[in-house]
Amino acid sequence: MCAALLRDRLQWFWPDLRQQRVLGIGYTQPYLGAWRGRGALCVSAVLGRHGSALMTLQQEGGRLPPEERTCLVDAQHLPFGDEAFDRILLVHALQDEEQAVTLLRAAGRVLRDDGRMVLIVPNWFGGRLRQRGTPFAQETAFTRGSLRRVLAHAMLHVERRDEALFLPAGQGCTSLQRGQASDIAGKVLSPGLGSLRLVEVVKDVYSARPLPVAERKVWFSKMMVPVQDA
């Protein structure tokens, strides 16, 4: 039910992706259904730490859709060409700030210059606590400042933000209608306190900073006078 609520929010970000290529990084099988079967080519890149979950999913009766294109990847080396995808979704993918920057830079390489990327991460303000019993409880939680810092290092820029699942998973995910109603009420009564952050980002073409040409000098270097035969 939580996955269904998130698919609803993802369709709000990207309602029509016909004839476009979508890459899911991390563990995105439950969420790519927002566009699967609607004219989009969906590819799921499962990170190594989720490989056992993928094998379990295949062994439990083959619940993986037959049209699903899935591969096991390394966070530092995505096996795709440059600018191969129009949209990228990251769920259960970010461990810490250093790993997040590495993965986001690799994702930016395979994203088109005019493409867009959505990240779903737990909120630092009780996000993991309210998502107890779901995979998000083991994810790294980000504040708005820490996420902004990670995106800046990865040369990405925030376009839109959203939040979801204001109630604990045991209460807010009992039905789709209850979850949608609680999310609407939460955005009105307590904005910024959703347990999950959804952030849409694009490439920041102005983020490149030139290296200094001249070596920096110590502030007291002008006071130093060379002495002959010293």
CATH number, domain containing residue 104? 3.40.50.150
Tell me, yes or no, whether 220 lies in a domain. Answer: no
Q: What is the pLDDT of residue 88?
A: 96
161 in any annotated domain: yes
Residue 162 lies in a domain: yes
Q: At what angle do helices 97-110 and 144-153 cross, to 10 degrees?
A: 50
CA distance 51 to 59: 13
Q: What is the pLDDT of residues 54-92, one digit of tens each?
A: 545 454 445 555 446 888 888 888 899 999 999 999 999
Residue 58 lies in a domain: yes
**Average pLDDT rounded to a whole number, residues 157-179:** 85
Higher pLDDT, 229 or 188: 188
pLDDT for res 59? 45
Lowest mean pLDDT among 14-18, 107-111, 134-138: 134-138
Residue 221 maps to a domain: no
pLDDT in tens, 184-209: 888 888 888 888 999 999 998 765 55
pLDDT number for residue 158: 92
Residues 6+ apart with CB under 8 A from 212: none
Number of domains comprising the chain: 1
Per-residue pLDDT at 212 exceeds 60:
no
Task: Flag whether 173 is in a domain.
Answer: yes
Supply the range of the domain harboring residue 94: 2-204
Gyration radius from the chain CA atoms: 21
In a domain, 227, yes or no: no
